[in-house]
RNA sequence: GACUUGGUAGCUCAGCUGGUAGAGCAUAACACUUUUAAUGUUAGGGUCCUGGGUUCGAGCCCCAGCCAGGUCACCA
């Protein structure tokens, strides 16, 4: 391992601590009875507290020192005084352990007494401290001044995502996002559970990936010797449960799509899907706007949230615009009753990237996506999508070329998608067959025919409305983060290059021998290694090439030494 | 996938028409018992992402690659 100067120093401190009989990684529990936040909320002079956390800053002034301790709730100032910690003759606990052997980042426990300093800072006077974990790697520590301005922030996105643990330690605002994320999940659960909908779990490994148009990840089950797919959606399983007699089921579903990654797409992401029997999409719109208002308040304490330059108003109700009206509004073009060629001509004339393989539905979708979608900033329901684009949706009760579907647009992006669910098994079979035809033409995202799902529908699924919400995107809007990576603890990244030098078997064997002796005569090492001439030559060249060993020629002969 | 920006000390960043690699914080040493971006003095710390090329000489110029960010496309 290549250690930096600071890492070496910390390892030396670790050894010294052990010499002094201090276990840097003790096993025993530490009897914490307070947190920094609780102390601040209920501050009483002279109160005794036991807290634990990470040492985050130190200001040493001889035989006294101020420091900051950070726990899960925040930070508090702590005051180390030599005579307080070491009342007797032996001052080593302060002079050596605290001043010399502790580092920023170490996790310590503190028994202390609350007091207020001259300048009015709530502070814990340390009566005794215990090292709980020695930190061997320096934290990328930003400094914050009295006005809350941050200097030398840990901001490199690559390092922040790869080392989220460090990001969370030093960037409190990052933690805040994830606290909000969990608040949102909890709020949704509460909202659904209060209405007696039932949280369920359905398979992630699916023999047929259904419920959405997307490329799946494929894997293999050895015992069964069959391919399995990581789910791209859980829709068809939840509907099976409605067939089975549940009135309302929901699931927070980790979905997996083998597609591109960008600011708004991660290969695995979380959707929430809920299905409620005996409802339609009109009911679902009301339900959705109430849900989102509820969540916005739970997360931010307000029905408005800021995203970039815009204030999003989450207060229900939201406007409802049919797709036809939306297109009319932004292009002046009425798609009602238009033929495929008329739609194609219009799209072409408006410089929309279309091709002749596109059907009516796809053309309409392109026109909407290009000319309208981005204009819906405040939450708006877009309703009544073309049938061709929606193979799981019930035909519109008045317009047979449309479906009873809505998407909720916020800041020009879709965050929710809902239908009056198609429950006519014969219609569903025909829609699947149309998808299969698309697949035959080479559409690798067309849906598979799921015979078991059709069998379920044949038993009869009550009229049902379903809703899917992209949880990651929703939390992006509620926490003002334009990138999905900021709302996932561990966003997908390309594997890191291994920085450490990797040695092959022969090289490692020679290197181990070499380490015992530091420097050896070349021939002696060769004999010790027992390798053939050829292998020996290759291994030594490997070692010198990787700069872990070097060969030197002196008057006494050739010598090799570890670097 | 295309374009674009970046990769230099533990962290944040400088760097000259191409000539011995810099700062702040962090680290180490000394001083300092109510400070708070503590302070003062001193010191150490670098495969300048990788591999080629041009050159007497490359962190800098050229080519290829790797990783990341952004924009667009694809995708929802």
For nucleotide B27, the protein residue with its alpha carbon nearest to C1' is: A6
Please give the model's pTM, rounded to 2 decimal places: 0.86
Q: What pLDDT digit, counting tens, does each position of A184-223 carry?
A: 999 999 999 999 999 999 999 999 998 888 889 999 999 9
Distance CA A68 to C1' B37 in A:
13
User: What integer pLDDT is reported at residue A143 of this predicted model?
Assistant: 82
A449 touches strand B (CB under 7 A): no
Q: What pLDDT digit, counting tens, does each position of A53-65 carry?
A: 999 999 999 999 9
The nt closest to A118 (CA vs C1′) is B34
Distance CA A189 to C1' B17 in A:
66
- Greatest Cα pair distance, chain A, in angstroms, is 100
Helix and strand numbers (H, E) in chain A are 18, 23
Tell me the mean pLDDT in the region A241-262.
95
More confident residue, A476 or A522: A476
User: What integer pLDDT is reported at residue A347 of this predicted model?
Assistant: 87
Q: Of A53, A28, A26, A59, whose CA–CA distance to A38 is shortest?
A: A53
Chain A window 329-388: residues with CB closer than 7 Å to nucleic chain B are 353, 369, 373
Q: Is the pLDDT of residue A557 over 80?
A: no
Query: b/e per residue, A225-241, with b = 16+ CB within 10 A?
Result: eeebbbbbbbbbbbbbb
More confident residue, A161 or A511: A161
A534 touches strand B (CB under 7 A): no
User: What integer pLDDT is reported at residue A547 of this predicted model?
Assistant: 46
State the average pLDDT for chain A.
Answer: 88
User: What integer pLDDT is reported at residue A99 of this predicted model?
Assistant: 94
User: What integer pLDDT is reported at residue A523 of this predicted model?
Assistant: 64
Both tokens assigned to A429: 């079979």
- Confidence label for A556 from pLDDT (cuts 50, 70 and 90): low
User: What integer pLDDT is reported at residue A499 of this predicted model?
Assistant: 39
Q: What pLDDT digit, counting tens, does each position of A308-333 carry?
A: 888 999 999 999 999 999 999 998 99
Distance CA A492 to C1' B36 in A:
39
Both tokens assigned to A433: 């067959």
The nt closest to A151 (CA vs C1′) is B12
Distance CA A155 to C1' B6 in A:
13
Distance CA A333 to C1' B50 in A:
55
The nt closest to A154 (CA vs C1′) is B11
A147 touches strand B (CB under 7 A): no
A6 touches strand B (CB under 7 A): yes
A493 touches strand B (CB under 7 A): yes
Q: In what order do the strands lie in the sheet with A464-470?
A: A198-199, A248-256, A268-277, A464-470, A413-420, A405-410, A380-383, A320-322
Q: Whole-angstrom Cα distance, residue A82 to residue A91?
A: 7
User: What integer pLDDT is reported at residue A504 of this predicted model?
Assistant: 47
A545 touches strand B (CB under 7 A): no
Chain A window 379-438: residues with CB closer than 7 Å to nucleic chain B are 407, 413-414
Range with lowest mean pLDDT among A246-250, A263-267, A366-370, A422-426: A366-370
Q: Whole-angstrom Cα distance, residue A41 to residue A536?
A: 68
Strand partners, A239: none
Strand B positions closer than 7 A to protein CB: 1, 6, 9-13, 24-29, 31-39, 44-47, 66-76
């Amino acid at each position: 391992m290549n250690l930096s100067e600071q890492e070496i120093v910390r390892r030396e401190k670790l050894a010294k601590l052990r010499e002094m009989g201090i276990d840097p990684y003790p096993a025993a529990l530490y009897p914490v009875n307070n947190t920094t936040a609780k102390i601040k909320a209920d501050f009483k002079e002279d109160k005794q507290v036991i807290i634990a956390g990470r040492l985050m800053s130190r200001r040493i002034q001889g035989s006294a020192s101020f420091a900051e301790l950070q726990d899960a709730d925040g930070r508090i100032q702590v005051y180390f005084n030599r005579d307080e910690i070491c009342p007797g003759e032996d001052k080593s606990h302060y002079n050596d352990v605290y001043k010399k052997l502790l580092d920023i980042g170490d996790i310590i426990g503190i028994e202390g007494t609350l007091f207020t300093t001259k300048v009015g800072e709530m502070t814990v006077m340390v009566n005794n401290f215990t090292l709980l974990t020695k930190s061997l790697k320096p934290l990328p520590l930003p400094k914050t001044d009295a006005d809350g301005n941050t200097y030398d922030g840990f901001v490199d996105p690559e390092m922040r995502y790869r080392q989220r643990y460090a990001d969370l330690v030093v960037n409190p605002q990052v933690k805040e996002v994830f606290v909000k994320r969990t608040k949102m999940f909890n709020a949704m659960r509460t909202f659904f559970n209060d209405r007696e909908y039932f949280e369920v779990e359905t398979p992630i490994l699916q023999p047929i990936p259904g419920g959405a148009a997307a490329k799946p990840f494929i894997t293999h089950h050895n015992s069964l010797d069959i391919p399995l797919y990581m789910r791209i959606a859980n829709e068809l399983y939840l509907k099976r449960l409605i067939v089975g007699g549940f009135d309302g089921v929901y699931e927070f579903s980790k979905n997996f799509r083998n597609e591109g990654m960008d600011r708004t797409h991660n290969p695995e992401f979380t959707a929430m899907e809920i299905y409620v029997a005996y409802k339609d999409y009109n009911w679902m719109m009301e339900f959705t706007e109430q849900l989102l208002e509820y969540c916005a308040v739970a997360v931010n304490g307000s029905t408005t949230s800021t995203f970039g330059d815009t204030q999003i108003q989450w207060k229900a109700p939201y406007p409802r615009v049919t797709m036809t009206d939306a297109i009319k509004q932004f292009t002046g073009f009425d798609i009602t009753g238009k033929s495929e060629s008329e739609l194609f001509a219009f799209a072409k004339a408006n410089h929309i990237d279309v091709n002749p393989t596109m059907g009516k539905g796809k053309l309409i979708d392109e026109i909407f996506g290009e000319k309208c979608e981005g204009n819906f900033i405040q939450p708006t329901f877009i309703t009544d999508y073309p049938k061709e684009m929606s193979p799981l949706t019930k035909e519109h009760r008045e317009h047979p070329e449309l479906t009873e579907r809505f998407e909720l647009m916020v800041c020009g992006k879709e965050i929710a998608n809902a239908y009056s669910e198609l429950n006519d098994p014969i219609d569903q079979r025909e829609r699947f067959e149309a998808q299969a035809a698309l697949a035959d033409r080479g559409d690798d995202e067309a849906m598979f025919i799921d015979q078991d799902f059709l069998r379920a529908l044949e038993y009869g699924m009550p009229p049902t409305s379903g809703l899917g919400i992209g949880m990651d995107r929703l939390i992006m809007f509620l926490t003002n983060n334009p990138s999905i990576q900021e709302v996932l603890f561990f966003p997908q990244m390309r594997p890191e290059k291994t920085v450490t030098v990797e040695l092959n078997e022969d090289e490692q064997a020679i290197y181990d021998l070499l380490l015992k002796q530091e420097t050896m005569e070349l021939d002696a090492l060769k004999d010790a290694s027992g390798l053939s001439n050829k292998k020996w030559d290759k291994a030594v060249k490997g070692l010198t090439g990787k700069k872990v060993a070097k060969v030197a020629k002196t008057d006494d002969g050739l010598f090799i030494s570890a670097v």
